[in-house]
Structure 1
Amino acid sequence: MLAKSYPYYLANKAVYANEDLDVTDKYSGDVATRVALADAKVIDEAIAAADASQEALRKMAPYERQAILNHCVKRFEERFEEMALALCIEAGKPIKDARGEVGRLIDTFRVAAEEAVRMNGEVMNLEVAPRARGYSGMYKRVPIGPCSFISPFNFPLNLAAHKIAPALAVGCPFVLKPASRTPIGALIIGEILAETDLPEGAFSILPCSRDGADLFTTDDRLKLLSFTGSPDVGWDLKARAGKKPVVLELGGNAACIVDEDTDDLDDAIERIIFGAFYQSGQSCIGVQRIMVHESLYDRFKADFIKKVADLKMGDPKDEATFIGPMISLSEANRLKGWIDEAQELGGDLLAGGEQDGAMLQATVLENVPPHAQLNTEEAFGPAAILSSFSDFDAALAQVNDSKFGLQAGIFTKDIYKIQKAWDELEVGGVVIGDVPSWRVDNMPYGGVKDSGVGREGIKFAMEDMTELRLLVIRDKNR
C-alpha cells in the first residue's frame, strides 16, 4: 500500500503543501494517494537554492559523492518490494516488470557510484607546429551547473534515475519534475536523498502542473535541460530553452528484423513477444514493426499469434499478469482508434484488438498500409504489426522509412549483414540477436531524427552535465 500522502522536496527538505495532486491506482481507477503540488513560486525557490548550492556541491570530493550514491543503492535494496509495489499501483505496471525496474534503478545508481571516481581529463601534446614549441596542455571536466530534469510516466524510477544519478556523480544540483501521473517513485528517491549530507539546495523534486513548470525550461539559472517524453513536447521545450544545452529522449516505433538464417525461431518469438508487449507496450523502444523473412513468415506468424493469445491480461499485482492497464483511459482510446483505423485501411487483425476501459489486449495486425498511424506514429501500447520481406536491403530501407530512429533489433548470424545494418540503419543503436527493447544502463542510449538528441547512459550523461576546461602551460626554456 502507498502512504496516505507524499510531500514534494524543496532544497532537500520534505514539504507537505495544501494543494494536492491525486494519484490513482491505474488498474482500479481509485485514488491511491495524494501528493503535494508545487507552484511557480516554489519552483523559483528551488532553482535559486540549486544555484546557491553549486559551489558546495562542486567542492565535494568524488569519494564523497560516491558515498551518497552507494547509500542510495543500499536503501533501494532495503525498500525493494515497497518500491516495486508503488510502481505497480501508480503506473499499472505488472509486478514482475515493476521488480525489474527497481533492479535497474539499483544498477543505475551503482554504475554512477563507480563512475563518480573515474571522471578524468587528458594531458595533450600541443607541439604540433614550431610555434607551439614548449607548450603543453591538459583538460578536465567541471560540472555544468544547476540542471533541469523532466521525467516520464512509463519508467518513473529508472528514467528519473538516469538524470539524478549522473548529476550527483559529477556534482550538479538539480530540480526534477516527475510525471504527474506517476510521481511516487521519484519522491521515494527524494526521501532517500534527504537522508544524506548533500549540501542544502542540491536537489528539489517537484510534482507540478504544466502551467507552473515553465521555469524548468526557460530559467537561465538552469544550465542544462534533460527531458524524456513525447516528441511534440520535447521539441517545443528545446525551442524555448534559450542558450542552455538540451538532451531529449523521445519516441520511437522500433522495428525488428527476423532474417532467413535465424536458427532458433522459438527464441526470436519469445524475445519479440517480450519486446512488443512487456509493461503493456508502454516503452519508447517497444517492438512495433516486425519484419520476418518470407521463408519463415508462415511458421513465425502461427506460433507468434498463438503465444500472444495466451498472454494473461489483468490485475498487475497478480504474479501471472503480463498485460496490465495502459496509463489512462484516454491513451487506451487513442491506440484503439489507431487499431480500428488500420483495419479500415485494409489491415487484418490477427490477435487481440479488444478494449475494456484502460485495458487493451495484446494486438497484432498484418497488411497494414504504410500511411496508417499505427505504422507511422509511436503506438506506445500493446500493438504490433507483422510483415514479410524477401530482400534484406529492402528490409533495412523499411526500417529507415520512419521519422523515428531510436533502436532496431535484428535476428541474423551473417556478420556482413550485421555490419551493413550498423552502417546503414538511421538509429541510435542496433541490437543483434535480440529486440530493440533491450537496454542495459551503462550503454549510450538515445536516438536520431524525431527520437531526440543526445545520449543517456551514466558516463555519457555525465559528459553532457560537465564542460571541458583547458589548461595551457608555456615552458619558455624549451
Structure 2
Amino acid sequence: MLQASYPYYLANEAQSPNQDLTVYDKFTGKVATKVAMADAATIDQAIAAAEAATEPMRKLPAYKRQAVLNHCVKRFEERAEELAQALCVEAGKPIKDARGEVVRLIDTFRIAAEEAVRIGGEIIPMDITPRGEGYSGMWKRVPIGPCSFISPFNFPLNLAAHKVAPAIAAGCPFVLKPASMTPIGAIIIGEILAETDLPKGAFSILPCHRDGADLFTTDERLKLLSFTGSPEVGWQLKAKAGKKPVILELGGNAACVVDEGTNIDDAVARIIFGAYYQSGQSCIGVQRIMVHEAHYDEMRDKLTAAVKALRSGDPKDENTFIGPMISEKEAKRLHDWVLEAKAEGATVLAGGERTGAMLDATLLEDVKADSNVNTQEAFGPVAVLSKFSDFDEALKEVNNSTFGLQAGIFTRDIYKIQKAWDELEVGGVVIGDVPSWRVDHMPYGGVKDSGLGREGVRYAIEDMTELRLLVIRNPN
C-alpha cells in the first residue's frame, strides 16, 4: 500500500512543506497519495547544495561510492514488492511488468557499483614525433560536477536509476525532477539514498511543475543536463541549456523487419511482447512491423489472433497484460490516430476500441504512409503491419522516419545482418529479436529526433566525467 503522503528530498533530507501534488491510481482514477512539491526557491537551494557538495563528492573514494550503490541494491531487493506495487498504482503498469522494472532497477545499481571502482585512465605515448621525446602523458576522468536530471513517467524507476546510479558512481552531486504523474518510485530511491553517508547536498529529488522547473535547465551551476522524455520538450530544453552538455533520450518509431526464412511462431511471440508490453508505452516499443511477402499472410493471421488474446484490465491482476495508458488524454490522442487511419482506408485487424484510459491492443494494416499512426510516435498499444518483397527496400523504409532509436531484424543471413548494421540510421540494431530488448549495461540512445548521447551505466559515466590530461617533461 502507498503511504498517505510522501516528502521530497532536499540536500539528502526529507521535507514535507506541503502536499500539493496529487498522484492518481491510473486504473481507477482515484487519489492514491499526495506528494510535496518544490517551488523555484527550493530548486535554487538544491542546486546551491549540489554545488557545495561538488568537492566532497569528488573526493569520496571509489569504494565508498560502491558501498552506497550496494546499499541501494540490498534495500531495493528488500523492498521489491513495495516498489512494484507503487509502480503498478502510479503508472498503471501491469504488475508483472512492474516487478520486471524493479529487477532492472536493481540491475542498474548493481552495474553502477561495479563500474564505480573501474573508472580508469590511459598512458599516452608522446614520442610519436621528435617533439614528444622526453615527455610522458596520461589522462584520467574527473567528475563533471553537479548534474541535472529529468526523468519520464513510463519507466519511473529504471530510467531515474540510469541517471542517479552513474552519477553516484562518477562522484557527481545531482538534482532530479521525476515525472509529476509518477514521482513515488524516485521518492523511495531518495529515501534509501538518505540512509547512506553521502555528503550533504549530494542529491535532491524534487517533484515540481514543468513551468517552475526552468532552473533544472538554465542554471549555470549545473554542469550537465540529462533529459528523458518527449522530443518536443527535449529539443526545447537543449536550446535553453546554455553552455552545459545535454544528453537527450527522446522518442522512437521502432520498426521490426521479418525476413524470408524466419521462424514465424518465434517472431510472433517476440513482436507481441515488443509491441504491447506495458501497454506499448515504451520509446522502443514495436510500432512498424514489416514482413516479407512469403510469410505475410501467415504472420498477419497469427499476430491478429495473438493480439486478440491479450488480456486487458486491472494492472493489479496477475493475468493482465494490457493496463491503462498514463492518462485518458493520451489514450484519446492515440485512438484518434487509429480512427484517422481507418477513415483513410486502413483495416483494423484487432482492437481499435477505447474506454477512458484503456485502449485495446490494436493491430492495423493497409495504413497510409503519411498517417500519424505510421509516422509519429504512437507510445501506446498500437502497431502497423505491412509487407515487403526486397530486403534493401525494407531497410530504406525503416530509415524513412524522423526517429532513429533501435530496430529489430529477424533474419538468418549474415550478410543482411551486416548490411542492416551498416545502413540503418538508429542507435542500435537487434538481430533475431525486437527493438524493445535492452540490457542495462549496453549503450542505449538514438539519432535524429530520438536524441543525443548514450545511456547505459558505463556510457553515462563517460558523459558525467571529463578527461584531464597530465604531461610530464623529463629535462634529463
Pair in the same fold by TM > 0.5: yes
Q: How does 1:216-365 map to 2 (within 5 A)?
A: 216-262=216-262, 264-365=263-364
Q: Give how far 1:20 is off.
A: 1.5
Structure 1 counterpart of 2:398: 399
Q: Give how far 1:63 is off.
A: 0.4
1:274-322 Cα offsets, whole Å, 9 max, x none, are 0000000000000000000000000011011001100000000000000
Structure 1 counterpart of 2:407: 408
Separation of aligned partners in 1, 2:45 and 2:352:
48
Structure 1 counterpart of 2:193: 193
**Structure 1 SS opposite 2:435:** coil
Separation of aligned partners in 2, 1:394 and 1:113:
44
Long gaps (5+) in structure 2: none
The one-letter code sitting in structure 2 at the alignment partner of 1:229 is: G
Structure 2 counterpart of 1:454: 453
Separation of aligned partners in 2, 1:232 and 1:151:
15
Structure 2 counterpart of 1:54: 54
Contact 2:50 2:201 in 1 (8 A): yes
Structure 2 counterpart of 1:12: 12
Separation of aligned partners in 1, 2:18 and 2:113:
36
**Structure 2 SS opposite 1:208:** coil
1:145 paired with 2:145, answer yes
Separation of aligned partners in 1, 2:313 and 2:131:
73
Separation of aligned partners in 2, 1:130 and 1:70:
48
**Structure 2 SS opposite 1:226:** strand
Q: Give how far 1:394 is off.
A: 0.2
Separation of aligned partners in 2, 1:328 and 1:39:
25
Distance 1:285 1:219, change over 3 A: same
Structure 2 counterpart of 1:441: 440
**Structure 1 SS opposite 2:65:** helix
Separation of aligned partners in 1, 2:394 and 2:135:
53
The CA RMSD measured in Å over matched residues stands at 0.5
The one-letter code sitting in structure 2 at the alignment partner of 1:242 is: G
Separation of aligned partners in 2, 1:145 and 1:32:
36
Separation of aligned partners in 1, 2:168 and 2:306:
43
Q: Give how far 1:22 is off.
A: 0.2
Structure 2 counterpart of 1:96: 96
Structure 1 counterpart of 2:72: 72
Structure 1 counterpart of 2:367: 368
The one-letter code sitting in structure 2 at the alignment partner of 1:133 is: E
**Structure 2 SS opposite 1:199:** coil
Long gaps (5+) in structure 1: none
**Structure 1 SS opposite 2:310:** coil
Separation of aligned partners in 2, 1:113 and 1:433:
31
1:377-400 Cα offsets, whole Å, 9 max, x none, are 000000000000000000000000
- TM-score normalised according to structure 1 size: 0.99
1:422 paired with 2:417, answer no
Contact 2:5 2:19 in 1 (8 A): no
Q: Give how far 1:19 is off.
A: 4.5
Contact 2:90 2:181 in 1 (8 A): yes
Q: Give how far 1:344 is off.
A: 1.2
**Structure 1 SS opposite 2:345:** coil
**Structure 2 SS opposite 1:288:** strand
Q: Give how far 1:115 is off.
A: 0.2
Give the 4+ runs in structure 1 shifted more than 4 A.
none
1:214 paired with 2:233, answer no
The one-letter code sitting in structure 2 at the alignment partner of 1:438 is: W
Structure 1 counterpart of 2:431: 432
1:416-452 Cα offsets, whole Å, 9 max, x none, are 0000000000000000000000000000000000000
Q: Give how far 1:18 is off.
A: 1.9
- TM-score normalised according to structure 2 size: 1.00
1:106 paired with 2:106, answer yes
Separation of aligned partners in 1, 2:324 and 2:414:
40
Separation of aligned partners in 2, 1:372 and 1:136:
60
The one-letter code sitting in structure 2 at the alignment partner of 1:441 is: D
1:232-271 Cα offsets, whole Å, 9 max, x none, are 0000000000000000000001000000021x21111000
Percent identical residues: 74
The one-letter code sitting in structure 2 at the alignment partner of 1:124 is: I
Separation of aligned partners in 2, 1:159 and 1:422:
26
Separation of aligned partners in 2, 1:211 and 1:269:
43
Aligned length: 476
